[in-house]
């Protein structure tokens, strides 16, 4: 039985790698179906056919499709995802300059959102049907239904425009003081947290309630356990897997949410880089960014899977 | 004043869909003396579990205790606050749930859960509680009492979990223990061990208990007094011997009648396996694997037209898998299934529509076997159209005929399954099979989800249909008394093997295969003292050397009370024909098995 | 296993069954009374229905009700306040916001609805096929869908726009593809559950073909979760399309959906102009409305399940 845990984890890893491969195929096919020709587009309509052909050769566009895919994939794996079509800089340098900023933003959000959401979710499950539960539920429904750009703009309206506490744009991510830190991160993190906490709390609540309706919880009540003990000692240990799953799925929302939030607050992260690349049709950069986001998603899911496997008592010996 | 429990005017209501409270227990009154075991007996919906839970001031979701009083000692349980109730539960009143497998928390060790109530109520220190738990494990005849507590619930068997749950209840020396159908989910051969363990601790500790059950025979072994319930009302409250010998209430009498094995319908059939004429179904050397695990092997079966053949075994014996293989739902890994001498394809895709028509399957649980989204008419009309190509007018007429055939009113045709009772649903289930005009109907535990009385009516109907339509039944069941009563021929399966086969007459008296013997002896009989008299599951098993791993051995080896060292653990058993005509898979001869029926020496009662 | 331990359900006496009636009365094997349930629908559900119904109507007739053309410059005042003449004010060019909102409704609601229908249709059919076939077909479909799920929706939208440029048909296809895998997952999970039910085994043992089992036996039992999922997915699609327009990568000028209206008037935010708030609030009412319906729907589904 003991060997089944590593086997399961290796299995999940394998599936993750396979999925990532399929993602790369999807991304490559989508970006290669381009109606235009990247070389032609870059040089303009007036370019001589010779010049276009030369650039095509340089970009490897004259190779058969599968060769292009393999060389692109090889580049991704070896850390050489190509060169930006717009400014000629290596894609990995561009990403490396932006990625830490996005990770900081995500980490700050997760640090606030996860504990908050778990407490709200567990509390509202414990006091199901209470005023607290009903109001948090209503608020959560509202928050997940509202576009994040609305929350962001309202935040700007209140804190930057009306109150003048914070500047609407994050001009710099270099912070010297706590106040500066707050002024840079407060609004992006707040915006991201709204949707994140709402979603995560709802899913956590559902996972705990699912356990609360099981016969062993009834048994614990009939043994004289108080509600606190019933939830913390009996329901929660069995809800770890589903909760880990809920946290991972909610956090994966961050991967898309940063797109809007970074754009609105003009935050120099990976998502603004990607949006700009989309606008300028800088394909190598777009491809690399998509792969990065997918990798992030798959890592989250993988971690949740592993936690679920490790917390499953049936796999313990 | 030695009444420890006094219930008066207890009323419980359930809230229905429309938000209206409907009474489900209408004013129950009874008392319980110290050291007395009282049984609450009734069929589903009788309110027995609801009353038992109300003794702890507890009502399940959707239910509410609306009136009356429950006094335990000097306390009125129904007047307590939530935190006072928490002090009572697990301390003064303890509960043993029906399904221990579900009532144990899968994420915590058994010991942790067994001693939890002692720690919650501060009765014992952790160390004392653990010592007491081990003592209780020993008293309940659990294997390896020192270490079983360190395991997780999924690592021990169902019968052991049920006994562990008893230890959990008794750890605080409660004034009252509630046992809620504690053996219903178990196989009979396991049930008897659990019952014995329960009875021993109840007697030794002089426990006051309420025993909830639907099974009068089980209750007869455990209870001093029986309260008979029906639709939330008490019908009769008498001493056990009186209920069994001269019940007062007509309902109790009808309950007793239904629980006695039904009388034989047909005359004894000739020893069937000799007769190959008019053979409808033949199964040859069937073997079925799930992945690399072999779940069924070496099954041979012959079924004559118009006969009823029973397959009996406990859960996991492979009896249902055999039926599914015959229907084509499970692909066998080896062997053949012949219908009227014609080889049936192993898989569904290889069978013709007419072959499908001739073999019909009736599932155990009519709740899930009928599509909740279809009306009864649609359910019954589909096979008519599918097999017989009937047009709509014709179909409607035939649906009405089918309903009449299974003794249901034609007005049911427009309803959906959720609007029918359990018995009605099972009749529809049967009618759907009949709509195909089949030769063979595979009946998979068709009565085990039903109350005894309703199930008896279904069996009656099936016998009548057989006389009228000359259909053939393959009857899968775990209930040896039913099978013995209605089947012309019986096959006993254990762990995927056929261990015995014979005509009905051969199942009336020993010798049997040792497993069959255990099975028959384990069925509770409706008289007090049976538990003490029966030899089943008693005494230590003969010591044997570790079994040889290379050869396929007797499947019953690990539990067999008459296993022979050097033979059973070394050589695979032969199929032996006994004198009275039954064939068994065993090393023993006729004479040796007859000795099994001799009284056991008293010293063997060690567990 | 044993029905005796289920919480006793209320059993009322019933009329009807003639032959078994005697049995019923004598032995208590009674069918549950067919209560024509008039379950109280929570007010929030009714409110949700009202809001969503209103917006669906506007998506159909909005452009005809609009007092002005979508692009008509009607006022010299930019970011005008709420007035009788311009009930929702004017935008950064002096156009009537109410008219622009009504003209935008078909884009925001219509495109989202069409994309959701496509996503759920393909998701459910693929889910059914995967659940019914099993084996390598199931594995292949599931792997591909998992790969699509692994690309976050907004990122998928960005790459589609980068590759093909933005247009209404592209947005529709993109949203459908982005949300199909989620629908597939739910549909497959539900279908796999239903497939294990005995009535499906009965149909298989009867010799029924796969299409009959999938569409007649299984599908009707999936309707409720699939409908709930449809509502949720619609909300997500609305939010995604609005977000894309907000980024300037969605519906392109001169056409405008509600997201574009927020974007183009964002400078009015400082003044608290209705031009930027009205379209944002419109989106929020639509999505909250759908969520309210789902919540009351889900609560009722749960009540039914429990009984």
The two structure tokens encoding residue C135: 């084996």
Sign of CA dihedral B99, B102, B107, B112: negative
Closest alpha carbon to B259 in B213, B220, B215, B211: B215
pLDDT of B55 > 60? The answer is: yes
Residue B352: predicted pLDDT? 93
Q: Quote the DSSP letter at residue A280.
A: T
Q: How many CB pairs below 8 Å do chains B and C form together?
A: 171
- For residue B483, being part of any structural domain is answered with no
Please tell me the distance from the alpha carbon of residue B199 to that of residue B183, in angstroms, as a whole number: 12
Based on the domain organization, do A98 and A70 belong to the same domain? Answer: no
What is the b/e burial string over C186-206, where b = at least 16 CB atoms within 10 angstroms of the residue's CB? bbbebbbebbebbbbbbbbbb
Q: State whether A147 and C291 contact (CB < 8 Å).
A: no
Name the least confident of B215-224, B249-258, B379-388, B422-431. Answer: B249-258
Tell whether B77 lies on the interface with C, counting CB pairs under 8 A. Answer: no
Please tell me the distance from the alpha carbon of residue C231 to that of residue C292, in angstroms, as a whole number: 10
Using a CB-CB cut-off of 8 Å, the residues of chain B touching A233 are: 108
Q: Which of A221, A223, A241 to mutate to test the interface with B (most CBs of B within 10 A)?
A: A223
Look up the domain containing B589 and give its range. 514-605
Based on the domain organization, do B252 and B286 belong to the same domain? Answer: no
**Strand B176-180 to strand B209-213: parallel, antiparallel, or no bridges (unpaired)?**
parallel
Angstroms from B121 CA to nearest CA on chain C: 28
Based on the domain organization, do B378 and B418 belong to the same domain? Answer: yes
Based on the domain organization, do B246 and B356 belong to the same domain? Answer: no
The two structure tokens encoding residue B227: 């309260």
The two structure tokens encoding residue C283: 């989106």
Last residue of a domain, one of A77, A104, A136: A77
Residue C166 vs residue A175, higher pLDDT: C166
Closest alpha carbon to B456 in B417, B425, B485, B491: B485
- For residue A195, being part of any structural domain is answered with yes
The two structure tokens encoding residue B276: 């190959």
Least CB-CB distance to C159: which of A156, A290, A298?
A290
Residue B252: predicted pLDDT? 86
Residue B585 sits at φ, ψ, to 5 deg, of -105, 90
Last residue of a domain, one of B451, B472, B493: B472
Pair A277, A289: CB distance under 8 Å = yes
Based on the domain organization, do B348 and B450 belong to the same domain? Answer: yes
Q: State whether C150 and A149 contact (CB < 8 Å).
A: no
- For residue A86, being part of any structural domain is answered with no
Based on the domain organization, do A166 and A272 belong to the same domain? Answer: yes
The two structure tokens encoding residue B120: 């919650």
Angstroms from B306 CA to nearest CA on chain C: 21
Based on the domain organization, do B325 and B191 belong to the same domain? Answer: no
Look up the domain containing A21 and give its range. 4-77
Residue A117: predicted pLDDT? 93
pLDDT of A40 > 80? The answer is: no
Based on the domain organization, do A171 and A273 belong to the same domain? Answer: yes
Based on the domain organization, do A62 and A110 belong to the same domain? Answer: no
Q: Which residues neighbour A229 within 8 Å (Cβ) at sequence distance 6 or greater? A: A220, B120
State how far Cα B223 lies from the chain centre. 20
Q: Quote the DSSP letter at residue B436.
A: T
Based on the domain organization, do A134 and A252 belong to the same domain? Answer: yes
- Residue in this structure with the two tokens 């003396």, named with its chain if needed: B33
Based on the domain organization, do B79 and B184 belong to the same domain? Answer: yes
**Strand B489-494 to strand B497-503: parallel, antiparallel, or no bridges (unpaired)?**
antiparallel
Residue B216 CA: distances (Å) to CA of B223, B227, B257, B453, B486:
10, 11, 11, 13, 21
Using a CB-CB cut-off of 8 Å, the residues of chain C touching A23 are: 147, 150-151
Residue C130: predicted pLDDT? 92
**What is the per-residue pLDDT across B18-50, written as a single tens digit (0 to 9) for each?**
678 888 898 899 999 998 999 999 888 888 999
CATH classification of the domain holding A247:
1.10.3720.10
Q: What SS3 state is found at C296? A: helix
Residue B566: count of CB within 10 angstroms of its CB: 9
Q: State whether C26 and B254 contact (CB < 8 Å).
A: yes
Mean pLDDT on A219-224: 92
In chain A, pLDDT over 90 holds for what percent of residues? 15
Using a CB-CB cut-off of 8 Å, the residues of chain C touching B436 are: 206
CATH classification of the domain holding B173:
3.40.50.300
Based on the domain organization, do B334 and B461 belong to the same domain? Answer: yes
Tell me which residues of chain C, numbers 253 to 282, contact chain A at a CB-CB cutoff of 8 Å: 259, 262, 266, 269-270, 272, 276, 280
Tell whether C140 lies on the interface with A, counting CB pairs under 8 A. Answer: no
The two structure tokens encoding residue C26: 């004598």
Pair B404, B322: CB distance under 8 Å = no
Based on the domain organization, do B417 and B554 belong to the same domain? Answer: no
Based on the domain organization, do A22 and A156 belong to the same domain? Answer: no
Spell out, as residue ranges, where chain C has pLDDT lower than 50.
1-28, 34-40, 303-307
Cis bond leading into C254, ω under 30°?
A: yes
Based on the domain organization, do A100 and A240 belong to the same domain? Answer: yes
Using a CB-CB cut-off of 8 Å, the residues of chain A touching C288 are: 141-142, 145-146
Q: Which of B15, B42, B44, B403 to mutate to test the interface with C (most CBs of C within 10 A)?
A: B44
Phi/psi region, residue A60 (left: phi>0; alpha: psi -120 to 50; beta: rest), is left
HEC profile of B140-190: CCCCCCCCHHHCCHHHCCHHHHHHHHHHHHHCCCCCEEEEECCCCCCCHHH
Residue C69: count of CB within 10 angstroms of its CB: 14
Based on the domain organization, do B447 and B540 belong to the same domain? Answer: no
Phi/psi region, residue C72 (left: phi>0; alpha: psi -120 to 50; beta: rest), is beta
Using a CB-CB cut-off of 8 Å, the residues of chain C touching B45 are: 8-9, 11, 28, 30
Based on the domain organization, do A95 and A73 belong to the same domain? Answer: no
Give the DSSP H or E segment for A244.
helix A236-264
- For residue A84, being part of any structural domain is answered with no
Closest alpha carbon to B471 in B480, B463, B460: B463
Contacts 24+ apart (CB under 8 A), A63-68: A65/A32, A68/A28, A68/A32
- For residue B176, being part of any structural domain is answered with yes
Q: What SS3 state is found at B359? A: strand
Q: Quote the DSSP letter at residue A234.
A: I
Based on the domain organization, do B191 and B230 belong to the same domain? Answer: yes
Pair C260, C104: CB distance under 8 Å = yes
Closest alpha carbon to C154 in C49, C267, C243: C243
Partnered with residue B3 across adjacent β-strands are: B33
pLDDT of A168 > 80? The answer is: no
Least CB-CB distance to C276: which of A15, A34, A153?
A153
Q: Which residues neighbour B113 within 8 Å (Cβ) at sequence distance 6 or greater? A: B104, B105, B153, B168
Based on the domain organization, do A178 and A110 belong to the same domain? Answer: yes
pLDDT of B433 > 90? The answer is: yes
Q: Which residues neighbour B364 within 8 Å (Cβ) at sequence distance 6 or greater? A: B444, B445, B446, B448, B449, C198
Phi/psi region, residue B279 (left: phi>0; alpha: psi -120 to 50; beta: rest), is beta
Q: State whether B108 and A229 contact (CB < 8 Å).
A: no
Last residue of a domain, one of A22, A48, A77: A77
Please tell me the distance from the alpha carbon of residue C165 to that of residue C295, in angstroms, as a whole number: 37
Based on the domain organization, do A64 and A133 belong to the same domain? Answer: no
Please tell me the distance from the alpha carbon of residue B373 to that of residue B380, in angstroms, as a whole number: 13
pLDDT of B339 > 90? The answer is: yes
**Chain C residue with the nearest C-alpha to that of B404:** C19
- For residue B492, being part of any structural domain is answered with no
Last residue of a domain, one of A77, A109, A138: A77
Give the DSSP H or E segment for C299.
helix C274-306
Can you give the length of chain B in residues?
A: 607
Tell whether A130 lies on the interface with B, counting CB pairs under 8 A. Answer: no
Angstroms from B598 CA to nearest CA on chain A: 44
Number of structural domains chain B divides into = 3
Number of structural domains chain A divides into = 2
Based on the domain organization, do A219 and A272 belong to the same domain? Answer: yes
Residue C125: predicted pLDDT? 94
Name the least confident of A156-170, B330-344, B487-501, B546-560. Answer: A156-170
Angstroms from C123 CA to nearest CA on chain B: 22
pLDDT of B174 > 50? The answer is: yes
pLDDT of B244 > 50? The answer is: yes
Residue C305: count of CB within 10 angstroms of its CB: 8
Based on the domain organization, do B223 and B111 belong to the same domain? Answer: yes
Q: Which of C5, C139, C148, C163 to mutate to test the interface with A (most CBs of A within 10 A)?
A: C163
Residue A172: count of CB within 10 angstroms of its CB: 10
Residue B143 sits at φ, ψ, to 5 deg, of -70, 145
Residue B291 vs residue B595, higher pLDDT: B291
Based on the domain organization, do A67 and A135 belong to the same domain? Answer: no
Strand B472-477: give its sheet, edge to edge.
B359-362, B440-444, B472-477, B308-312, B489-494, B497-503, B583-585, B575-577
pLDDT of A190 > 60? The answer is: yes
Please tell me the distance from the alpha carbon of residue A99 to that of residue A288, in angstroms, as a whole number: 12
- For residue A248, being part of any structural domain is answered with yes
- For residue A82, being part of any structural domain is answered with no
- For residue B144, being part of any structural domain is answered with yes
Last residue of a domain, one of B455, B472, B489: B472
HEC profile of C233-295: HHHHHHHHHHHHHHCCCCCCCCCCCHHHHHHHCHHHHHHCCHHHHHHHHHHHHHHHHHHHHHH
What is the b/e burial string over C36-67, where b = at least 16 CB atoms within 10 angstroms of the residue's CB? eeeeeeeebbeebbebbeebeebbeebbeebe
Tell me which residues of chain B, numbers 223 to 242, contact chain C at a CB-CB cutoff of 8 Å: 230-232
Based on the domain organization, do B233 and B286 belong to the same domain? Answer: no
Tell whether A237 lies on the interface with B, counting CB pairs under 8 A. Answer: yes
Residue A170: predicted pLDDT? 53
Angstroms from B315 CA to nearest CA on chain A: 21
pTM of the complete model: 0.83
Mean pLDDT on A272-288: 86
- For residue B34, being part of any structural domain is answered with yes
Contacts 24+ apart (CB under 8 A), B10-13: B10/B51, B10/B54, B10/B65, B10/B67, B10/B68, B10/B69, B10/B70, B11/B65, B11/B66, B11/B67, B11/B68, B12/B47, B12/B50, B12/B51, B12/B54, B12/B59, B12/B63, B12/B64, B12/B65, B12/B66, B12/B232, B13/B63, B13/B64, B13/B66
Residue C70: count of CB within 10 angstroms of its CB: 17
Closest alpha carbon to B176 in B342, B314, B7, B335: B7
pLDDT of B376 > 70? The answer is: yes
**What is the per-residue pLDDT across B266-307, written as a single tens digit (0 to 9) for each?**
444 444 445 567 889 999 999 999 888 888 999 999 999 999
Q: State whether C207 and B24 contact (CB < 8 Å).
A: no
Last residue of a domain, one of B472, B498, B522: B472
Closest alpha carbon to C110 in C280, C297, C257: C257
- Residue in this structure with the two tokens 């993988």, named with its chain if needed: A302
**What is the per-residue pLDDT across A230-253, written as a single tens digit (0 to 9) for each?**
988 899 888 888 899 888 888 888
DSSP structure string for B244-299 = HHS--SHHHHHHHHHHSPPPP-SPPPP-GGG--TTEEEEEEEEEEEETTEEEEEEE
Please tell me the distance from the alpha carbon of residue C210 to that of residue B349, in angstroms, as a whole number: 11
- For residue B553, being part of any structural domain is answered with yes
Please tell me the distance from the alpha carbon of residue C20 to that of residue C281, in angstroms, as a whole number: 60
- For residue B151, being part of any structural domain is answered with yes
Pair C218, C191: CB distance under 8 Å = yes
Residue B148: predicted pLDDT? 92
Q: Which residues neighbour A103 within 8 Å (Cβ) at sequence distance 6 or greater? A: none
The two structure tokens encoding residue B205: 């500790």
- For residue B489, being part of any structural domain is answered with no
């Amino acid at each position: 039985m003991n060997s089944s845990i590593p086997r399961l984890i290796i299995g999940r890893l394998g599936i993750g790698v396979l999925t990532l491969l399929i993602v790369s195929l999807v991304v490559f096919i989508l970006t290669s179906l381009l109606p235009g020709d990247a070389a032609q587009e870059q040089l303009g309509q007036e370019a001589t056919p010779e010049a276009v052909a030369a650039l095509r050769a340089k970009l490897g566009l004259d190779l058969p499709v599968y060769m292009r895919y393999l060389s692109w994939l090889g580049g991704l794996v070896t850390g050489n995802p190509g060169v930006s079509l717009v400014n000629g800089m290596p894609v990995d340098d561009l990403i490396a300059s932006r990625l830490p900023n996005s990770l900081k933003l995500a980490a700050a959000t997760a640090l606030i959102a996860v504990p908050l959401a778990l407490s709200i979710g567990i509390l509202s499950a414990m006091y199901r049907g209470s005023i607290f539960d009903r109001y948090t539920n209503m608020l959560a429904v509202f928050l997940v239904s509202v576009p994040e750009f609305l929350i962001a703009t309202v935040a700007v309206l209140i804190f930057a425009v009306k109150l003048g506490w914070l500047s609407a744009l994050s001009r710099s991510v270099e912070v010297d003081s706590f106040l500066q830190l707050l002024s840079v991160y407060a609004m992006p993190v707040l915006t991201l947290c709204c949707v994140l906490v709402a979603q995560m709390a709802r899913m956590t609540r559902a996972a705990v309630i699912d356990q609360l309706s099981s016969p062993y919880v009834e048994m614990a009540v009939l043994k004289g356990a108080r509600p606190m003990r019933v939830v913390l000692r009996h329901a929660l240990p069995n809800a770890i897997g589903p909760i880990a799953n809920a946290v991972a799925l909610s956090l994966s929302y961050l991967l898309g949410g940063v797109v809007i939030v970074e754009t609105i607050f003009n935050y120099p992260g990976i998502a603004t880089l990607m949006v700009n690349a989309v606008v300028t049709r800088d394909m190598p950069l777009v491809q690399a960014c998509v792969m990065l986001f997918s990798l992030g998603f798959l890592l989250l899911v993988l971690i949740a899977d592993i936690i679920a496997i490790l917390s499953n008592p049936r796999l313990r010996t | 004043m030695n009444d420890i429990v006094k219930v008066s005017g207890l009323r419980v209501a359930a809230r229905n869909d429309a938000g209206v409270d409907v009474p489900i227990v209408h004013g129950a009154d009874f008392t319980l003396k110290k050291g007395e075991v009282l049984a609450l007996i009734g069929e589903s919906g009788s309110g027995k579990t609801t009353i038992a839970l109300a003794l702890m001031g507890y009502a399940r979701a959707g239910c509410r205790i609306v009136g009356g009083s429950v006094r335990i000692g000097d306390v009125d349980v129904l007047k307590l606050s939530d935190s006072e109730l928490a002090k009572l539960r697990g301390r003064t009143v303890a509960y043993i749930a029906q399904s221990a497998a579900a009532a144990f928390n899968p994420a915590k060790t058994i010991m942790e859960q067994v001693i939890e109530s002692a720690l919650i109520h501060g009765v014992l220190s952790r160390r004392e509680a653990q010592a007491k738990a081990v003592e209780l494990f020993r008293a309940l005849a659990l294997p390896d009492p020192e270490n079983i507590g360190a395991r997780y619930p999924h690592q021990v068997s169902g019968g052991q979990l049920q006994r562990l749950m008893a230890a959990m209840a008794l750890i605080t020396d409660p004034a009252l223990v509630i046992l809620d159908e504690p053996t219903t989910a178990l196989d009979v051969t396991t049930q008897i061990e659990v019952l014995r363990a329960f009875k021993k601790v109840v007697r030794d500790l002089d426990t006051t208990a309420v025993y909830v059950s639907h099974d009068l025979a089980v209750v007869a072994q455990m209870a001093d007094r029986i309260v008979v319930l029906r639709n939330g009302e008490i019908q009769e409250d008498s001493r056990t011997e009186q209920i069994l010998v001269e019940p007062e209430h007509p309902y109790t009498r009808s309950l007793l009648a239904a629980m006695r094995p039904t009388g034989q319908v047909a005359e004894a059939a000739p020893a069937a396996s000799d007769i190959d004429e008019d053979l409808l179904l033949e199964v040859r050397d069937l073997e079925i694997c799930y992945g690399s695990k072999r779940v069924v092997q070496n099954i041979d079966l012959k079924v004559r037209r118009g006969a009823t053949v029973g397959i009996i075994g406990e859960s996991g014996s492979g009896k249902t898998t055999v039926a599914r293989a015959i229907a084509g739902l499970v692909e066998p890994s080896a062997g053949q299934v012949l219908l009227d001498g014609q080889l049936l394809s192993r898989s569904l895709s290889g069978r013709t529509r007419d072959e499908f028509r001739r073999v019909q399957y009736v599932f155990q649980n009519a709740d899930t076997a009928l599509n909740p989204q279809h009306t009864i008419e649609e359910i019954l009309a589909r096979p008519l159209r599918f097999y017989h190509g009937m047009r709509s007018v014709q179909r409607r007429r035939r649906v009405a005929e089918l309903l009449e055939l299974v003794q249901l009113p034609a007005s049911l045709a427009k309803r959906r399954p959720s609007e029918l009772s359990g018995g009605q649903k099972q009749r529809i289930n049967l009618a759907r099979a009949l709509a195909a005009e089949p030769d063979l109907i595979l009946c998979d535990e068709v009565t085990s989800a039903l109350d005894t009385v309703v199930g008896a009516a279904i069996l009656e109907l099936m016998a009548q249909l057989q006389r009228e339509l000359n259909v053939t039944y393959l009857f899968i069941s775990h209930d040896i008394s039913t099978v013995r009563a209605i089947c012309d021929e019986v096959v006993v399966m254990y762990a995927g093997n056929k261990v015995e086969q014979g005509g009905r007459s051969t199942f009336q008296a020993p010798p049997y295969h040792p497993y069959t013997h255990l099975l028959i002896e384990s069925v509770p009989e409706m008289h007090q003292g049976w538990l003490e008299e029966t030899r089943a599951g008693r005494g230590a098993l003969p010591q044997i050397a570790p079994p040889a791993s290379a050869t396929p051995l007797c499947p019953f080896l690990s539990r067999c009370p008459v296993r022979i060292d050097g033979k059973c653990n070394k050589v695979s058993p032969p199929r032996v024909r006994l004198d009275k005509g039954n064939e068994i898979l065993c090393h023993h001869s006729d004479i040796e098995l007859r000795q099994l029926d001799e009284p056991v020496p008293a010293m063997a009662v060690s567990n | 296993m044993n029905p005796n331990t289920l919480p006793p359900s209320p059993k009322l006496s019933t009329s009807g069954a003639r032959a078994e009636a005697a049995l019923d009365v004598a032995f208590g094997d009674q069918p549950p009374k067919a209560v024509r349930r008039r379950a109280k629908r929570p007010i929030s559900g009714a409110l949700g229905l009202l809001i969503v119904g209103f917006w669906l109507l506007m998506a159909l007739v909005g452009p005809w009700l609009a007092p002005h053309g979508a692009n008509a410059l009607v006022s010299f005042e930019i970011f005008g306040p709420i007035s009788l003449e311009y009930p929702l004010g004017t935008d950064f060019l002096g156009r009537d916001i109410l008219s622009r909102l009504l003209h935008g409704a078909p884009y925001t609601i219509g495109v989202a609805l069409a994309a959701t229908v496509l996503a759920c249709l393909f998701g459910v059919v693929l889910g059914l096929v995967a659940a019914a076939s099993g084996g390598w077909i199931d594995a292949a479909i599931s792997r591909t869908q998992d790969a699509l799920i692994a690309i976050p929706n907004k990122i998928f939208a960005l790459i589609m726009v980068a590759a093909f440029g933005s247009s209404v048909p592209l947005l529709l296809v993109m949203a459908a593809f982005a949300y199909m895998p989620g629908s597939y997952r739910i549909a497959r999970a539900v279908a796999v559950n239903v497939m294990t039910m005995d009535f499906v085994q009965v149909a298989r043992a009867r010799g029924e073909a796969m299409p009959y089992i999938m569409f007649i036996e299984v599908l009707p039992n999936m309707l409720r979760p699939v409908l709930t999922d449809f509502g949720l997915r619609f909300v997500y699609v609305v939010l995604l399309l609005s977000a894309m327009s907000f980024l300037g990568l969605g519906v392109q000028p001169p056409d405008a959906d509600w997201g574009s209206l927020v974007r183009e008037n964002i400078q009015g935010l400082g003044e608290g102009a209705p031009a930027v708030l009205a379209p944002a609030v419109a989106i929020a009412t639509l999505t909250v409305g759908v969520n309210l319906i789902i919540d009351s729907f889900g609560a009722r589904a749960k009540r039914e399940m429990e009984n």
